[in-house]
Structure formats: structure tokens, C-alpha cells
Amino acid sequence: MDDRLFRNAMGKFATGVTVITTKVDEHIHGMTANAFMSVSLNPRLVAISISEKAKMLEKINNSKRFVVNILSNEQKNLSMHFAGQLIEGVSVEFETIDDIPVIKNALANIICNVKSAYVEGDHTVFIGEVTELKLTDGEPLAFFEGKYGKVVKD
Ligand code: FAD
């Protein structure tokens, strides 16, 4: 199997899109991620997977905290911006919850303390214990086969 086949297979799994945020020494860092899942209800745990190439990895290893910001379908530009794709005219608005930056108007801001980290292959899986939540009404941004889309409900 070649890498392209593997990537194409993973791209068949339609996801939402998040921006992970964290703060180290008053410096805010954000990064687009769709490798996110809910792990446990009791205790409340989530997982994210961060590439060894991403600057975010060192930031979370230092801060021991992160926020999963689930984007709305009006925030595609933010997803592209935080994936390092140059988008003109993007203005990023952060709010602060519990002393950590979150993306304003995201559908959900899920504030976590790092509970554990597992280096697996070229990624690190962080398990986050959820300490705070904020929800906002709206429609989700979706990602499928490498492209953005909208969710149509039945
Ligand atoms: P950089 O590339 O330096 O930063 C990312 C961008 O965010 C830059 O444009 C930077 O200017 C901007 N930025 C950072 N902080 C701020 C700030 N405070 N204010 C304003 N702008 C800021 N990679 C993974 O490891 N895991 C995933 O699950 C994952 N999922 C992805 C899903 C999608 C849909 C896409 C498009 C990409 C995904 N990526 C994922 C790739 C990842 O988003 C990019 O590789 C990203 O560029 C890595 O970010 P970085 O931490 O290295 O920082």
C-alpha cells in the first residue's frame, strides 16, 4: 500500500474541523486539526493527535493545556489560516475562558488539561480532561476527501 492510498482511505471519514489553541508565556498559538474524538464520559476525556512536525506539539507539551474549538461553517477562512494557508483579510478574534484563549463564535470551546500523551509513529495523541465548556448555536464546518463542505441534516 502506498501513502496516497492510506491518505485517501482516511479522507473517506467525514469529520468536523477544529482549531486547537493553547498559550505559553502569554504567547497564543493556534492550529487546525480534524483528528479529534470524544473518549470518555466519566471522567470527561477527549483526544487529539498532533504531528511531530507541528509547532503545536512543543506548545502543548509546555502548557499542558489546550482548547478544542469546533468551527462553524462560517469559519472556513479560520481553518485555512490556522492550517498555514495564506488567506487575505482573516481577522482572528480570541476570547479568554479560564485564562486560556478560545476562538470566538466557534460552535464549541472545549477547555482541557493534558491528562496523558502517547507518542505513536509520527504523531502524539493527547488525552485531555475537560475542565470547561462553552457552546454557541450554528452549523458545522465539514471536511471530506480533502475538501470543505456543509452538513445536510435529514
Ligand atoms: P504554524 O504552521 O506556524 O501555524 C499555523 C497557522 O496559524 C499559521 O498561519 C500561523 O500564522 C497561524 N497562527 C498561529 N497562532 C496564531 C495566533 N496567535 N494568531 C493568529 N494566527 C496564528 N495536523 C495535525 O497535526 N493534526 C491534525 O489533526 C490535523 N488536522 C488537519 C485538518 C485540516 C482540515 C487541515 C487543513 C490541516 C490539518 N492538520 C493537522 C495540519 C495542520 O493544521 C498544519 O500542518 C499546521 O500548519 C500546523 O501548525 P503549526 O503548529 O506547525 O504552526
Q: What is the pLDDT of residues 11-66, one digit of tens each?
A: 999 999 999 999 999 999 999 999 999 999 999 999 999 999 999 999 999 999 99
φ, ψ at 89 (rounded to 5°): 75, 15
- pLDDT the model gives residue 105: 97
Contact between 138 and 105 under an 8 Å Cβ cutoff? The reply is: yes
Q: Measured from the CA of 148, which atom of ligand 1 is nearest? A: 34
- pLDDT the model gives residue 10: 98
How confident is the model over 92-122, as pLDDT tens digits? 999 999 999 999 999 999 999 999 999 999 9
Going by CA atoms, what residue is nearest to atom 46 of ligand 1?
83
Q: Measured from the CA of 143, which atom of ligand 1 is nearest? A: 34
29 Cβ closer than 6 Å to some ligand 1 atom? yes
Q: What is the pTM of this model?
A: 0.98
Whole-number Cα distances in Å, 133 to 70, 79, 98, 106, 136: 11, 20, 10, 11, 10
